Amino acid sequence: MQHTDVLVIGAGIVGAACAHALTQAGLSVRVIDARLGGATAAGMGHLVVMDDNPAELALSQTSLDLWHAWAPHMDAGCAFTACGTLWLAANDAELQAAHNKRSTLQAHGIACEMLDATALARAEPALRPGLAGALKVQGDSVVYAPRAAQWLLDQAAAQGHLIFEQAEATHIDGHTVTLRDGSQRSAGAIVLASGIQAPQLCPGLPLRPKKGHLVITDRYPGTVRHQLVELGYITSAHHSDGTSVAFNVQPRPTGQLLIGSSREFDTTDPAVNNAVMARMLQRALDYLPGLADLNAIRTWTGFRAATPDSLPLIGAHPEHPHLWLAVGHEGLGATTAPATAQLLAAQITGGTPAIDPTPYAPARFAGLNTP
């Protein structure tokens, strides 16, 4: 049996960031990934400061700082683009919400500014006339998350001790992980970062699949310049039940437009739901009427791993002393992977976390005692 300090299960953006942070801390790390494909490959890769609650803000702000520190070193395939986010206010009530958001972000030193209706129309001429304004968050960015995950693993391998294996873990027992072929790997600590797949290895985790749809268009460079998100997203994104859609469009560096978003519980069917897709696209047309003339070339779905309180599970499993969790990032995994990794690595190595780990501690949920 081959032994490393840590074994990370899952090489999505969160697992890759954890492997990176742990090797940076001087530990030897084995990463195993079954290539099942998760939220990293399906999502938008929008790096966005979210402020629904202080814990979400701390995790996303710390992560954005790390993303910006990494950006100059990432390869072109990572497609890091500091396009900023425009939070769109359709009416006076949403404009007030934008002002409130600005106050919160500025109080935390996050650069942002209000655009009035005229400035918004100048910034994004393709938007329909009559919007009330927008909050522009300059530091928000975009990345191609699957490539960024690979970049993190490459960095870890180049600078530290990292072994990668494509394999499926079928069982965790103490220090030992059993693979599909029956062989075993042992490590001082096991990090479970397999997103929506995690409950298969650790039953009882409070994770629910939250389905989402995306559409990508042909290349139309310059049509949209910032990631555009309706402020209504804030109220619709975290609804715990019911299907919802929200306008969310991202300009890719290729000139393509990535169009979202939808949220749907109680299904694990990966097929495109045409009714939901139609609602989502109609919502997009409400904001960008010109989309109707563009060609979509792909549609797909993915599943976010949602927790009951919409905060991830980062830290020690309360019942299994060698098992650490980094799961449940819902739609913010790409954004919050860096701070998640930093937080987890600090806890594993006995260091001092940069932010208070308490809000993310898995022990906040009862019922995590099932092995």
Partner 1 sequence: MHIVVNGAPLQVPAGTSVAAALAQQTPGTTRTSVTGEARAPLCGMGVCHECRVRIHGRTRLACQTVCTEGMSIHTDVGTAPGSATS
Which positions lie near partner 1, rule CB under 8 A?
Answer: 218-223, 254-255, 295, 297-298
Strand, helix or coil for residue 228: strand
Q: How far apart are CA 38 and CA 135, in angstroms?
A: 31
Task: Tell me the backbone φ, ψ of residue 2, rounded to 5 degrees.
Answer: -90, 135
Q: How far apart are CA 251 and CA 76, in angstroms?
A: 16
Q: How far apart are CA 363 and CA 371, in angstroms?
A: 14
- Angle at Cα 342 formed by Cα 253 and Cα 46, nearest 5°? 25
Q: Shortest distance, CB of residue 210 to partner 1, whole angstroms?
A: 27
Q: How far apart are CA 238 and CA 337, in angstroms?
A: 19
Per the listing, tokens 């791993």 go with: 305
Residue closer to partner 1 by CB (options 174, 221) is: 221
Q: Shortest distance, CB of residue 146 to partner 1, whole angstroms?
A: 16
Residue closer to partner 1 by CB (options 244, 256) is: 256
Q: Shortest distance, CB of residue 77 to partner 1, whole angstroms?
A: 10
Q: Shortest distance, CB of residue 8 to partner 1, whole angstroms?
A: 32
Residue closer to partner 1 by CB (options 75, 218) is: 218
Residue closer to partner 1 by CB (options 119, 296) is: 296
Ranges assigned E (strand) in 243-360: 244-251, 256-263, 296-306, 313-317, 320-327
- The stretches of the chain forming alpha helices (DSSP H) are 13-24, 39-42, 54-70, 92-107, 117-123, 145-159, 198-201, 232-237, 274-287, 333-349
Q: Amino acid identity of 177?
A: V
Q: How far apart are CA 83 and CA 66, in angstroms?
A: 17
Q: What's the token pair of residue 169?
A: 């873990």
Q: Shortest distance, CB of residue 256 to partner 1, whole angstroms?
A: 9
Residue closer to partner 1 by CB (options 126, 189) is: 126
Q: How far apart are CA 124 and CA 250, in angstroms?
A: 12
Q: How far apart are CA 62 and CA 139, in angstroms?
A: 12
Per the listing, tokens 């995690």 go with: 198
Q: What's the token pair of residue 298?
A: 């792909």
Taking each continuous run of H as one helix and of E as one strand, the counts in the chain are 10, 18
Residue closer to partner 1 by CB (options 44, 193) is: 44
Residue closer to partner 1 by CB (options 175, 252) is: 252
Residue closer to partner 1 by CB (options 61, 301) is: 301
